[in-house]
Amino acid sequence: MAILITGGAGFIGSHAAVEFLNAGYDIVVVDNYCNSSPISLERVKKITGKDFPYYEVDLCDKAALEAVFVKHPEIDSAIHFAGLKAVGESVEKPGLYYSNNLLSTLNLVELMSKYDAKKIVFSSSATVYGVPKTVPISEDFPLSTTNPYGETKLMIERILKDIWVSDHEWSVSILRYFNPIGAHKSGMIGENPRGIPNNLLPYVAKVASGKLPYLSVFGNDYDTKDGTGVRDYIHVVDLAKAHVKALERAMAVKGVDYFNIGTGTGYSVLEIVKAYEKATGLTVNYKIVDRRPGDVATCYADPKKAYEVLGWRAENNIEDMCVDLANWMKQNPNGYEEE
Ligand code: NAD
Ligand code: UFG
């Protein structure tokens, strides 16, 4: 048996590849590198001391993806990370997001069905909860979205459910991630945002290392502890480990299930600034600016179900997340680009 990891060169996929290899599984990786580099996969080999095949394949190219299934009849499951993920870009280019994220998933599940590999773990997002009325958020909260990116996540969740309804041989595990940050403890793999980062932690790290002048804090008039937005930050290695647990459950039980993957604790933007400064001894200059359109005040998970059903819970705290991110940034000031 082997696990197909789509989008495995990306931020979360590369960390998941490490965890699956460390857990003794064989993997096959496909990625078109539209937001990543194969260097991350070479680093995964160095970290684990294990070899595995990887292919430059666009999942929207069904023939190219099918060639991978033909070459690797041992594939019996998939962890599906491949997709475009920038919320703002999805508002500007909805067609690109709908076609890339949906077509790639439809091709993948059609081939998984054809080659009898009917176990999938899918990367969904807390964005499917829209503007939650209360926190913590549990899996049975109402679903809605506020942008095309979120819409693709919700549509894919529904597609996967319908596939299971039509064929009960499927095992579908939908993981709704909160805010993944941090990096592998080795400092060899991490997040590699192209250009100016959209997300808080990569931005904070660039300000601290002097590559950007200051952080714009998007609003300090929310109804939160200090007025700034509150989120549930989760270490990417903890998140990666949740995929191993989810696949192991999918191997044992058929059906569709949904899990929040977060810590259950919310941190404000200013708390994150302080935590990063404390963990690194660096200074993070910031200015308060207007709210960012579309942001919610507070978002954090009730992660109880993942613990009760999968036996998974986050182990790293916010300091670990900041230290590991800073270590990755220090070792790779230009991401993977220097090699
Ligand atoms: P990432 O961009 O680093 O990784 C995604 C990978 O998919 C990239 O390597 C990219 O090259 C590849 N890819 C995209 N379209 C492809 C296609 N058509 N064919 C082949 N490869 C393709 O992003 P990430 O942060 O690792 O996210 C992984 C998954 O988790 C995504 O589906 C994302 O939407 C989801 N997610 C991420 C976050 C987050 O904050 N990082 C939060 C919630 C959900
Ligand atoms: N923030 C700033 N300044 C910045 C960047 C962010 O103040 O330069 C604030 C935001 O206003 C928010 C918090 O930091 O309060 C976190 O913002 P991120 O952009 O890092 O994360 P979001 O929670 O907005 O978005 C993330 C993912 C989305 C996903 C969403 C819900 O990036 O893909 O979580 O799951 F849709």
In a domain, 315, yes or no: no
**What CA–CA distance (Å, rounded) separates 97 from 138?**
27
Let me know if residue 197 belongs to a domain.
no
Please indicate, yes or no, if residue 135 is contained in any of the structural domains. yes
Distance CA 231, CA 262 (A): 10
Q: What's the pLDDT tens digit per position in 133-177?
A: 999 999 999 999 999 999 999 999 999 999 999 999 999 999 999
Average pLDDT over residues 106-133: 98
Read off the pTM.
Answer: 0.98
97 lines ligand 2 (CB under 6 A): no
Res. 193 pLDDT band, cuts 50 70 90:
confident
Closest ligand, as measured to the CA of 153: 1
Q: Is 85 in the pocket of ligand 2 (CB under 6 A)?
A: yes
CA distance 127 to 153: 8
Q: How far apart are CA 117 and CA 4, in angstroms?
A: 10
146-150: long-range contacts, CB 8 A cutoff, minimum separation 24: 146/294, 147/87, 147/90, 147/91, 147/294, 148/90, 148/91, 148/94, 148/97, 148/98, 149/84, 149/85, 149/86, 149/87, 149/89, 149/90, 149/97, 149/101, 150/87, 150/125
Q: 22 in a domain, yes or no?
A: yes
* pLDDT (average), residues 294-315: 97
Where in the sequence is the domain holding 164, given as residue range(s)?
2-183+233-263
Residue 153 within a domain: yes
Please name the residue whose Cα sits nearest to atom 39 of ligand 1. Answer: 180
Residue 339 pLDDT > 60, yes or no?
A: no
pLDDT band at 31 (very low <50, low <70, confident <90, very high): very high
Of the pLDDT bands very low, low, confident and very high (cuts 50, 70, 90), residue 338 is low
d(CA 330, CA 321): 14
Q: Which residues line ligand 1 (CB under 6 A)?
A: 7, 9-13, 31-36, 58-60, 81-85, 100, 104, 123, 125, 177, 179-180
The CATH number of whichever domain residue 26 belongs to comes to: 3.40.50.720
Say if strands 75-80 and 179-181 run parallel, antiparallel, or are unpaired. Answer: unpaired
Is the confidence at residue 94, as pLDDT, over 90?
yes
d(CA 112, CA 310): 24
**Within a 10 A sphere around the Cβ of 270, how many other Cβ atoms?**
19
Task: Please check whether residue 37 lies inside any domain of the structure.
Answer: yes
Check: CB of residue 289 under 8 Å from CB of residue 269.
no
Any domain includes 308? no
Nearest C-alpha neighbor of 246 from the set 44, 23, 61, 49: 23
> How is residue 124 annotated by DSSP?
E
Task: Indicate the number of domains in the chain.
Answer: 1
Does residue 64 fall inside a structural domain?
A: yes
pLDDT given at position 155: 98
